[in-house]
Structure 1
Amino acid sequence: MDKTGTLDARMWNLPNELTEGPPPSGYVHVEGQTHEYRGMLQLKVERLRRLKADEVEEEDYVPASESDRRAMAAEVLEAGWALENDHLRDLFGSMAADRELWEAFCEAPAAKTMHHARVGGLLEHSLQCVRAAKALARLYPVNEDLLVFGAIFHDIGKVRELSWEKGGFAYTTEGRLLGHVVLGERIVSSYVEGLPEFPEELAVEVSHLLLSHQGETQYGSPEEPKTLEAILLHFVDNLDARVEMYRESTKNVSPGGWSHHENPLRRALYVPEDRTWSVAPGDGDEA
């Protein structure tokens, strides 16, 4: 893998230094040929060499969103400033005005490995959730402002749950101990406290959105969704995550082929003969 993605690879003639197995992590220079195997693109490695630290530019290996982060951030800002509820708009504004928080929100991955595991992945995922939330608000009798606010910041806790330095993604200590759901609610609540006129009932509804968006306690939510906005936010979040899992797992699968079974959805995935994905997620169009 490098910043452009992941490719299945096999090496049949191992050099002596790899006969006892590959290193657990590190950087290598690889030469080989790509070919199709059971409908998937695969690399047949012919030569492999460990790279020294001074030979590596880590930014070349950290996966990053292919979508324009400035454009995505601008669309999220537009959605936030368009909130009609004065209190939610003020809350959004206070969070967006915090330069450190906003920059982290625009840079963070959405996960370590599961979906949108790339620099800018959290922004990309949040924007897709905003787009879906707006569409659902036209179909159901929902508080659109509350749903859109939740779509923007439901995963804000990941800016503290995850680190994306030193060439890879990892969980922080507080991320391991508390998880992004609790961290996210704490982050948003801290900004609510800075708005003395923020209604208490609305603050509770916002906290419920954040604490329940994972859907079930077994997936990290202290509470299950109990308002219409919370129910829709959970499904919007889950929908975009699973679509991205499919896209990532089938990225190197030819039309008519199957992915490996080893993917976050725990099943082999099929790409129909007439299906192509030529547009990066977040661009708003489908091929």
Structure 2
Amino acid sequence: MFKEATIQGKISGSVMIVSVTQKQTRTSKPYLILKLRDDQKKEVDAKLWNMSVEEFPFDKNTVIIGEFSVGEYNGQKDFTLDMYREALESEYRMEDFINAAPYSPQKMYEYILQIADQTVLDDAYLAIIHNIYEKYKEQIFIWSAAKAVHHNIRSGFLYHTFRMVQSGIALGKVYGQALNHSLLLTGIILHDVGKLKELYTDSTGNADYTPEGSLLGHLLIGCEMIDEACNKLDLQNDENKDKILLLKHLLASHHGKQEYGAITVPQLPEAIMLNRIDMIDAEMYQCEHALEDQSNGTFTDRIFGLNNTRLYKPL
């Protein structure tokens, strides 16, 4: 629906409410910015004038039937919600509105653990992977990788890790002499496990921060989860002390720079590689998402997660 909208036109159809944010006009009158998703998975922001959050009758994840006016602002389509009502259950299928990973969560989960069993030769690392993935399996299947920017979809956590594992295997073949493959693959598989506590993800894949996530962040939480697994597995001993320290360093440094949220900067070849693989997958996801609906021969809007770059889609 939103893809086909034309400036100065009107459209109508069913949309799911993703989020509701209250704003004020220059004269202090309230209005809402509704992030809406249609059944083609296209998301837009629409204004609802003269309305406060308290007055608006619907919560996020509610499907409504809306009528919209389409204007223009800064060269882009600008949507205003004119009329709306709650959709009847017979008028929509909820799965049509859910952004989800393109692969089965079960298959991605099994692939990751299969690669771990084949590639991670260190018994302690392998035990930690299985402990965490089995303990949090139910969450892992649906968890988003982020509230926004990249892999912020249902099963996005798995999808992000699934693709990074494939990149790690490929790059490991090129730079094998400089890398401890068991450490690198374990770091890839576990680098974002802190997000299982940093974020809460609902059944549609929409995520928001937990108090623990806001106060601590997933890098620190992930290191704590490694310690919890080690205590459970009786791995907190002199034999494993150094290797656990190296693994926690990969988690603590995988954002690359402290201004990007890293606890420390990468100081191991495996930590450098993990950071680069993470960045590649996050940025390529944003490229794919931005160009998916873009017309050939045109530029996208500026993309925050890509340093405000405008991507070009060739003819």
TM-score tier after normalising by the smaller chain length: 0.7 to 0.9
Distance 1:69 1:166 in 2: 13
Asked whether the 8 Å contact 1:65–1:118 carries over to 2, the reply is yes
Task: Write the letter of the residue equivalent to 1:268.
Answer: R
Asked whether the 8 Å contact 1:3–1:64 carries over to 2, the reply is no
How many residues get paired? 262
Query: How far did residue 71 of structure 1 move?
Result: 1.5
Q: 1:193 to 1:123 in 2, by over 3 A?
A: same
Could you list the per-position Cα deviations for residues 88-113 of structure 1 after superposition, in whole angstroms to 9, with x for gaps in the alignment?
Answer: 12222222332xx1221222101101
Asked whether the 8 Å contact 1:209–1:225 carries over to 2, the reply is yes
Task: Write the letter of the residue equivalent to 1:234.
Answer: N
What pairs with 1:1-287 in structure 2 (closer than 5 Å)?
1-2=37-38, 5-8=41-44, 18-20=48-50, 26=60, 27=62, 28-30=64-66, 48-51=83-86, 61-82=97-118, 83-98=120-135, 101-140=136-175, 141=177, 142-165=179-202, 168-197=206-235, 199-265=240-306, 266-273=308-315
Structure 2: 5+ residue runs without aligned partners? 1-36, 71-75
Asked whether the 8 Å contact 2:296–2:313 carries over to 1, the reply is yes
- Give SS of 1:138's match: helix
Asked whether the 8 Å contact 1:225–1:231 carries over to 2, the reply is yes
- Give SS of 1:30's match: strand
Could you list the per-position Cα deviations for residues 4-53 of structure 1 after superposition, in whole angstroms to 9, with x for gaps in the alignment?
Answer: 53344779xxxxxx44379687443236799xxxxx9x798897414279
Root-mean-square deviation (Å): 3.3
Q: 1:3 to 1:126 in 2, by over 3 A?
A: farther
Could you list the per-position Cα deviations for residues 74-97 of structure 1 after superposition, in whole angstroms to 9, with x for gaps in the alignment?
Answer: 111111211222221222222233
Task: Write the letter of the residue equivalent to 1:170.
Answer: D
Task: Write the letter of the residue equivalent to 1:137.
Answer: G
Structure 1: 5+ residue runs without aligned partners? 12-17, 35-39, 274-287
Distance 1:3 1:209 in 2: 40
Could you list the per-position Cα deviations for residues 165-197 of structure 1 after superposition, in whole angstroms to 9, with x for gaps in the alignment?
Answer: 275321111110011111111112210222334
Distance 1:267 1:121 in 2: 23
- Give SS of 2:232's match: coil
Task: Write the letter of the residue equivalent to 1:253.
Answer: Q
Asked whether the 8 Å contact 1:58–1:166 carries over to 2, the reply is no
Distance 1:227 1:136 in 2: 16
Query: How far did residue 218 of structure 1 move?
Result: 1.3
Q: 1:194 to 1:254 in 2, by over 3 A?
A: same
Higher relative contact order (CA 8 A, sep 6+): 1
- Give SS of 1:196's match: coil
Moved more, 78-87 or 146-155: 78-87
Asked whether the 8 Å contact 1:3–1:63 carries over to 2, the reply is no
Could you list the per-position Cα deviations for residues 192-240 of structure 1 after superposition, in whole angstroms to 9, with x for gaps in the alignment?
Answer: 2223346111000010011000111111111100000000000000110
Moved more, 49-58 or 140-149: 49-58
Asked whether the 8 Å contact 1:81–1:92 carries over to 2, the reply is no
Q: 1:135 to 1:223 in 2, by over 3 A?
A: same
Q: 1:257 to 1:48 in 2, by over 3 A?
A: farther
Distance 1:62 1:200 in 2: 43
Task: Write the letter of the residue equivalent to 2:220.
Answer: V
Distance 1:61 1:71 in 2: 22
